[in-house]
Structure 1
Amino acid sequence: MLAGGGASDVTDLISALPPPEQHPDLQLILGDALRMSGSVTWASRVFAPLLAQADHDRRWPARLLWRAAMVPYLRTDYAGALAVLDRADAAPTPAPPGPDDVLLLACRASTLAQLGRVDDAVTTGARALVAAQRVNEDAPLAAAHIAAALTSSGTRRDGHLADALAAAERAGDLVQQARVLVNQAHCLLREARYPSALATAVRAVRAAELAGPPGVLVTALHNAGEALVRLGRYDEATLHFTRSKLVSQRLGLNRAAAGVYGLAEVSRRLGRREEALAAFAEAAELARDVGDLQVRIPALAGLARLRCESNAADLDAARAAADEAHRLAPAFLLSCALAATGWVAYAEGDLEVARRRAAEAVRAARTGRQADALAEALELTAAVAADPAASRDALVEAGAIWQAAGAGPAAERTVVLLGRVPGADAAQRSAARAAANRLLALGIETVDGRQLSELSVDGGTVEVRVLGRFEVIVGGREVPLPAWRSRQARTLLKILVARRGRAVGRAELCELLWPDDEPRRTAHRLSVLLSAVRAVLDPPRRWPVDRYVRADLTGVRVDLTRVVVDAETLLADVPRAERLARAGDPARARAVLADVDAAYRGDAFTDEPYEDWADGLREQARSMWLRALRELARQYRRDGDSDRAATTLVRLLDADCYDEWAHRALVATLVGAGRHGEARRAFDRWGGAMRAIDAPPPHPDVLRARAGQQG
């Protein structure tokens, strides 16, 4: 029952027995069930008298020791776990060993590995594997292979994890399956195989939710969050990191450092510097308290890098953080620490040291076969290289690594950096601007401390955002309200943008702006407003007055070749994605559609809900966004990705609850995925929506539709 995820049921069954019937063996199982269900403190209280009795009797059965040791192990108190396991040294070794003896050896090997005693861990893991093969039972064999994997690398490690998963599946042991999947996801992350890492981490989360223990769930959630960060899905990553932190804090597991570090990374990538600094500092402190170098080193590196990107007053603190990371880093984290010291040296102007650290970081990453660390070290190499050709070569290699890994935002960052290299040609600069716009759409505003908006605009291009809150971006900064001097000046620009570059007659503009005033009085006001708008869009007056807003005998219009409007980009991108899909490139089509969805911050001109002039563009943009969601859902369904298809369809129905196609597709998707309860509820919502508009209700046969049917 415990292996199958029934920890809570076991706890209830044993707790219901009267004390006289609670045999010590039942108490032992109760403690294990409490640990696996997350009641770590109660588990400690159950194991304490059992260990005390064993000490009194000077008999330490393996079945007690490995279970009791897993409680401090779960709290990352690896020294405490080893102290429990060390009691086995005083007990005679059984011949032949039993399943619990194998599990004790496997637990000991894992604990030694976490303490950094690699040689002892390797020896103990080998003993566990030999003993498991003699016992010839799948559950102990899975545990032994997991322990062996912790001290292996490359194909040997992958082989141990594959054998462990096969044994756990044969045994029906969900707990061991979750542990294997967590380790596989971690390996895939280090190999920079992010889509595969995410899929494996999600499987680990589901297995851990079913079977526990909570420590595995915390790690699985963090792994999923790390993959989502690399894939640019920052909102989802934040949810996973937050849940990982909260589960750890709620259960007193001392594992919150990883979740806090993940949140710091999200903040750093989105340019929230102060939030990131505070979170990195907290993560480093939490990791120090429990001796977790896997979090402490990258958290210190993150602190160092952020402090380099501000003013010189932070360089002492940056150097201290980088030096601490370098001093403590084990081999598999050495490249990360070296890169941090290199960035500090670069910020201090010591290019000789920076180049040496960059070369060492590249060498360490190549030796350890760490693709992600190599790409990051190459970015440092590009920043400190002596000539532009070396910078370009390093960035091209880094970009290829990120592209192959599926790390879209990191790949886009290298494109931006290539556009900044001295001597970049027109094609590279154009590609950099396009990449900058895509990163901005993800919420990323800086690359290496420089505003992306400086690159996303070409030669003085202005950006106007009408989806959601109205914003005008000039020179990479939002125009503040006082700069407009008049609310009517903002309204004038809104009207011109709403007309999509078409000329609007002066008389019509006056009527829209001042419907109750005489035309002879408002004509002069319009000229004043026009001057105010032009002053806002070109404060230093570097360009001709009609660069952004043109006025002639036909009327006044905004020049969309120099004013980038987010709604216009959306209206162009959806048909482009559909063309890509028809041309046989669904992956790029999905990427464009996902960008469209991310860019849709709300209906156009939400701050002008009652103005007729806003209705046209508002409805066109909304209709195109809904069209993008439909096409995105279709593609996810064709790919068999029921989770994303269902999520997209639910969002589509939130926006338009009467979309019959979306209702039908959602029900069919849920049925095909075997989620019959959700399908029934979705069917009922469909029926309610149809009744509300007096439309024919859906037929129940749809609940038996096959997943492959397209609604």
Structure 2
Amino acid sequence: MGSLARPALVARVADVLGRRLTTVIAEAGYGKSTLLSSWWEMAPCAWYTADATDRDMPTLARQLADALRLRVPELRSGLARAIRGVSGPDADQPAHADALGSRLAQVVHAHVDGDLILIIDDVDELGSANPSARLIEAFCRHAPPRLHLVLAGRSRPLFPVERLRGQGQLLELGGDQLAFSTAEVGELVRQRLGVGMTDLPERLHRLAGGWPAAVILAVEALRETPRASWPAVLDGLDRTRTPLFAYLAEEVFAHQSASVREAVGRLALFDQFTPDLCDAIGMAEARSVVTDLAGQSLFVETRQDGSLALRPLIRDYALHHLPLPTSTARELRLTAAAWLARTGSADAAARMLLAAGAPDQLARLIGDEGATLLAAGHVATVLEACRAIPDALRTAAVEQVEGEARQIQGDWKGALACYERAAGGREALPAPLARRIGLLHYLRGHVDTALAAYRRGLEDREADPAEMASLLAWTATAHWLRGDVAACRDLAAQALAAAEACGDRRALAAAHTVISMLAALDGDRRANDAHYLLALRAAEEAGDILQTVRIRTNRASHFLEEGSYPQALQELEVAVRLAELTSFANFHALSLCNRGEARMRMGRLDEALVDLEASRDRYQQIASDMVAYPLSLIGELHRERGNLVQARAAYEEAVSIAEGSGDRQALGAALAGLATVLVGDDPRRASEIARRAVGAGTGLDYVVALLSAGWVAAVAGEREEAARLAAAAAAEARLRRDRAGLADALALTAMSAPRPGREATQHLHEAASIWRDVGNPLGEAKVALALAALETGSGTSPRRRVAEHRLEELGVHAHGAGGVAAGLLALVGGTESATLRIESLGRFAVIRDGEPVRLSEWQSKRARELLKLLVARRGRPASRGYLMETLWPDEDPEKVANRLSVALSTIRGVLDPRRTTSEGHLHADKDAVALNLESIDVDLERFLVAAAEGLASARRGDLVTALPALEAAAAAHGGDFLEENPYDDWAITAREEARAGYVAVCRALAAGASKASDPEGAVPHLLRILEIDRYDEQAHLGLVSALVGAGRHGEAHRHYLNYRRAMDDLGVEPAPFPGPQAPSKAGPGAGGSAFRKP
């Protein structure tokens, strides 16, 4: 058939290169595939035609990666292996789809310079509101500007597109655009029938409605009919009650030979075919008939892979109007299946046997070829086949294949059931089956159950050497976790010997990993390094993603212990990405936890908190007691910031969980941290907890425990004990090559000296040098503040102000450190700008003459609560009746009036025990009480005043004045107002006012950094907004833009995923992935300010 020029449609289609998404939505027969094929000449193009198996999201991801690989060869790397690998036992399918779609888009972005079109045809096969649709959406929204996604199908798009439409990033082609115009029908009539200007085109267009398939069949029917009979054919079209296409097809087939009709009837059984398949099923003159049909292109189309297929409407017509006897159809399918299996197309053979309804042959095929099918990525086909095999035909081989398929999908519960059925109740198992069952339990955190399963395969004398080596290594790992070092050592040696003998890379990776873990226990860093390198090399050569993630995460822990933070972060970036792609929840959570720790050690507190909270949430989703580890680090991060209330809450939760699980390592770290945040209020309890931490053993956190006990002693004034513990910590840190621990021990030594002098200063300078070498700006800044305090006392020297400013830049509440700090900062004292200070942003504390008032001095909890309430009133009088009702609800006012007076007297005694202020810190009469804000420095007031001044200056355009005021406001904000009173109604107004002010300040500072072409500087401010409100869309998109502008593309995509999930919670369609933000040209009144430092 000749080609029909369609200039109007071509002009419309040319716009595809200017849009992120193009949808081609029309019923069958509108020429969607023909149109899509024409785009190969517009730009480099990748094409995939979906089918029902792609409703399994990992299958679709593998197919898309294969399609893209022709244009993006870099997809042959670890990403492709991750997509083809096993999914974790707690796979969150939407999150998994997001991670895969995002990563595919990132790889394309990194390696494609020009335009690239990805066409996904027959998207209706995927369904909607499922992980496969989510994968396509993620790929679309993360796509770089020059990647253009085309979705073709019969129904509306798989995901919301209103925002894309509103932003001009969507091109929509429907039946109206694809339908033939009257002029185009006229050209077709001229080409095929040789007829010029008649009313025939107009009549055909009216009858068919411009439907291309119907128009072409009508023209073909007329071509096969004498011209004198054309009116009768057209009249028949007008009068027919049968579907138009069926009528036309009957007209066309009536003029075809019997061999063509028979061929079409038989070929309708197959989704696709080749001449060789036609020979195999015994079609007479198959090659010539198929060649003729393909040449006409009326009935047959050529697929992208070179195979042939009946056009969908023709196939549908043949199945309904040219049906074969059931027995004939079944025999043809069985013959085709046998031929396909012999020629290496086991996937197509399985689908043919499913269609034929042959479970016995299907069971044999899955038993023989199941492992090959899984290795090729045909997971969905294998599972469909296994579901079709009745219990009577299910062999152990079938059960094991289905178990592996379910494990790949992340259905580990279903996989375990399959494996147990394969075990058949036997105590002794084949080594491969024992390892698979044990690993499922191990990755769930059920170590004892895993060990019992591993033992069932250790006596397999016929095991493949590689399988036995792997089983020995994983069994040794389980013993390591249980603390049975002797058994671990014996099995690890056997595993390594067996792995080296057989040379299997997976087995070698597992064996070297457990040997490395033993070396860490022994304190042998050199052996630890060497074996981890060998393990990593073996795992990567084997393409074993699970072991690669595990090894990189463990190596990062080793680097963290040594203070090699950049190296740790480098390992963890890879580990986190791979863990996201494979949905191994426990390793994903662990790698996030370790990355959060690395970022915290590097002074990136805001980014660290994002990681640590994500780790905590992931562990909580799978109900893992390992959540104690990120909780302990969250406690440390809040402690470093000066948010001691939040720090204490996190530490106490970590202690509770670790005690319940018996995890001594997690317990020691949590106890050590908790002691340091309690010592300011309760030195005796802090000392007891610190001794418990030290007594937890000499494990990985022993140096931390010694230092905790030392800081507790120093803050409590026990300098001699603190010095002893500092010396012990320094010796242990040197032995373990723990540079961070050594730096902290040197600082403790300096601050424990009875009379700080030159030697103490030298210790601090040495500590600062170590922190500088390891890349920990937070440690360096704390030591700088300590040096300034030693040399100038607790005043406000320029050196001290510089050190405090540096800490504040890092997110630490450094003003008046002694009252709201732990560890080193608790010993440097506060500034003396105010004799009396109240801290209410974060922890509540009264700071009197530079020292915090301890809980024991209050004597009355009600008095302390009353002062908090008065602070919340912000100087406004509160009636005595209101105070009594709030503090003593449901009690007789006459009885509690005296209690209120006693509480007020207690407050006066705490604020001014020597009664040195004549005007008093409280204004009280018989009706009302108020706090005298003129005589007390309240951080809430200081913050709100600085925030208002800074924002007002920015709105006026006075940017030089705005910056220091806004920075001062940000420094004064130590956390939410009265964090220890989250549920009291009287605190809500002040809390919301402070939050709103802080968000406005952070937004203004971020805008200023953007204006100054400093996207990196905007990041922490935007993260702090999201810490307060995770649904702030402006902050989310600003953060992604800032990260792109800073060249941190991987992190930008990860934060964009967080944004999409937040919008999902709200039922809001997300905006597409943004590019780098241009410096704002809007004035301060446009929602923020923009300035650079003078």
Q: Give the shorter-chain TM-score range.
A: 0.5 to 0.7
Question: What is the root-mean-square deviation of aligned Cα atoms in Å?
Answer: 5.5
What is the aligned partner in structure 2 of residue 629 from structure 1?
1010
One-letter identity of the residue aligned with 1:138: R
| Structure 1 residue corresponding to 2:615, chosen from 244, 247, 254 | 244
One-letter identity of the residue aligned with 2:399: Q
- Kindly name which structure, 1 or 2, has the bigger radius of gyration based on alpha carbons: 2
Rounded Cα–Cα distance in structure 1 between residues aligned with 2:1032 and 2:669: 39
1:341 matched to 2:690? The reply is no
What is the aligned partner in structure 2 of residue 72 from structure 1?
441
Rounded Cα–Cα distance in structure 1 between residues aligned with 2:827 and 2:735: 38
Alignment of 1:566-585 (within 5 A): none
Conserved 8 A contact 2:597-2:633: yes
| Structure 2 residue corresponding to 1:5, chosen from 76, 81, 85 | 85
1:24 matched to 2:396? The reply is yes
What is the aligned partner in structure 2 of residue 54 from structure 1?
426
1:357 matched to 2:725? The reply is yes
* 1:421–1:208 distance in 2 versus 1, CA, 3 Å: same
Conserved 8 A contact 2:1009-2:1015: no
Alignment of 1:443-458 (within 5 A): 446-448=820-822
What is the aligned partner in structure 1 of residue 770 from structure 2?
401
What is the aligned partner in structure 1 of residue 482 from structure 2?
115
After superposition, give the CA deviation of every residue in 1:478-510 in whole Å (9 maximum; x if it has no partner).
994766569xxxxxxxxxxxxxxxxxxxxxxxx
Deviation at 1:310, TM superposition (A): 1.3
What is the aligned partner in structure 2 of residue 161 from structure 1?
532
1:421 matched to 2:819? The reply is no
* 1:429–1:654 distance in 2 versus 1, CA, 3 Å: closer
Deviation at 1:17, TM superposition (A): 4.6
What is the aligned partner in structure 2 of residue 612 from structure 1?
none
TM-score by length of 2: 0.44
What is the aligned partner in structure 1 of residue 591 from structure 2?
220
Rounded Cα–Cα distance in structure 1 between residues aligned with 2:802 and 2:1016: 27
* 1:265–1:50 distance in 2 versus 1, CA, 3 Å: farther
Rounded Cα–Cα distance in structure 1 between residues aligned with 2:946 and 2:538: 57
Residue 766 of structure 2 aligns to a residue whose secondary structure is helix
Deviation at 1:452, TM superposition (A): 8.8
Rounded Cα–Cα distance in structure 2 between residues aligned with 1:453 and 1:359: 18
Rounded Cα–Cα distance in structure 1 between residues aligned with 2:1000 and 2:705: 52
Conserved 8 A contact 1:175-1:212: no
1:369 matched to 2:737? The reply is yes
Rounded Cα–Cα distance in structure 2 between residues aligned with 1:343 and 1:263: 19
Conserved 8 A contact 1:142-1:176: yes
Residue 483 of structure 2 aligns to a residue whose secondary structure is coil
1:279 matched to 2:647? The reply is no
What is the aligned partner in structure 1 of residue 461 from structure 2?
92
Q: Percent identity?
A: 27
Unaligned runs of at least 5 residues, structure 1: 464-472, 487-531, 541-559, 574-591, 602-606, 608-617, 638-643, 694-711
| Structure 2 residue corresponding to 1:104, chosen from 463, 466, 471 | 471
One-letter identity of the residue aligned with 1:365: A
| Structure 2 residue corresponding to 1:322, chosen from 665, 690, 697 | 690
Alignment of 1:430-445 (within 5 A): 430-438=801-809
After superposition, give the CA deviation of every residue in 1:296-339 in whole Å (9 maximum; x if it has no partner).
11011112222222134xx2x33442233222223432222222
Conserved 8 A contact 2:545-2:578: yes
What is the aligned partner in structure 2 of residue 147 from structure 1?
514
Deviation at 1:457, TM superposition (A): 5.5
More helix by share: 1
After superposition, give the CA deviation of every residue in 1:503-554 in whole Å (9 maximum; x if it has no partner).
xxxxxxxxxxxxxxxxxxxxxxxxxxxxx9xx956659xxxxxxxxxxxxxx
One-letter identity of the residue aligned with 1:92: R
* 1:443–1:308 distance in 2 versus 1, CA, 3 Å: closer
Conserved 8 A contact 2:441-2:450: yes
Rounded Cα–Cα distance in structure 2 between residues aligned with 1:6 and 1:37: 7
What is the aligned partner in structure 2 of residue 380 from structure 1?
748
After superposition, give the CA deviation of every residue in 1:669-701 in whole Å (9 maximum; x if it has no partner).
9799999x99xx988979xx9xxx9xxxxxxxx
Deviation at 1:196, TM superposition (A): 3.2
Rounded Cα–Cα distance in structure 2 between residues aligned with 1:325 and 1:652: 40
One-letter identity of the residue aligned with 1:5: G
What is the aligned partner in structure 2 of residue 494 from structure 1?
none
Rounded Cα–Cα distance in structure 2 between residues aligned with 1:368 and 1:63: 38
* 1:622–1:461 distance in 2 versus 1, CA, 3 Å: farther
Rounded Cα–Cα distance in structure 1 between residues aligned with 2:582 and 2:621: 18
Deviation at 1:163, TM superposition (A): 2.4
What is the aligned partner in structure 2 of residue 81 from structure 1?
450
TM-score by length of 1: 0.65
Deviation at 1:448, TM superposition (A): 2.5
Q: Which range is displaced more, 334-343 or 199-208?
A: 334-343
Rounded Cα–Cα distance in structure 1 between residues aligned with 2:606 and 2:547: 30
What is the aligned partner in structure 2 of residue 525 from structure 1?
none
Rounded Cα–Cα distance in structure 2 between residues aligned with 1:570 and 1:431: 24
One-letter identity of the residue aligned with 1:405: V
Unaligned runs of at least 5 residues, structure 2: 1-57, 59-80, 92-377, 838-846, 853-867, 878-922, 924-931, 955-963, 974-988, 990-998, 1058-1069, 1083-1094
* 1:187–1:416 distance in 2 versus 1, CA, 3 Å: same
Conserved 8 A contact 1:388-1:421: yes
Residue 112 of structure 1 aligns to a residue whose secondary structure is helix
Deviation at 1:63, TM superposition (A): 0.6
Rounded Cα–Cα distance in structure 2 between residues aligned with 1:674 and 1:331: 37
Alignment of 1:289-304 (within 5 A): 289-304=660-675
One-letter identity of the residue aligned with 1:130: A
Conserved 8 A contact 2:477-2:488: yes
Alignment of 1:423-572 (within 5 A): 428-438=799-809, 446-448=820-822, 459=833, 480=871, 536=933
One-letter identity of the residue aligned with 2:661: V
* 1:104–1:624 distance in 2 versus 1, CA, 3 Å: closer
Residue 456 of structure 2 aligns to a residue whose secondary structure is helix
Residue 329 of structure 1 aligns to a residue whose secondary structure is coil
What is the aligned partner in structure 2 of residue 183 from structure 1?
554
Deviation at 1:111, TM superposition (A): 1.8
Conserved 8 A contact 1:309-1:449: no
Deviation at 1:408, TM superposition (A): 2.3
Conserved 8 A contact 1:653-1:663: no
| Structure 2 residue corresponding to 1:125, chosen from 489, 492, 510 | 492
Conserved 8 A contact 1:436-1:456: no
| Structure 2 residue corresponding to 1:257, chosen from 619, 628, 652 | 628
Deviation at 1:25, TM superposition (A): 3.9
What is the aligned partner in structure 1 of residue 368 from structure 2?
none
Deviation at 1:219, TM superposition (A): 0.9
Deviation at 1:368, TM superposition (A): 1.0
Rounded Cα–Cα distance in structure 1 between residues aligned with 2:766 and 2:831: 27
Deviation at 1:375, TM superposition (A): 2.6
Conserved 8 A contact 2:832-2:849: no
More contact order relative to length (CA 8 Å, sep ≥ 6): 2
Alignment of 1:691-706 (within 5 A): none
What is the aligned partner in structure 2 of residue 469 from structure 1?
none
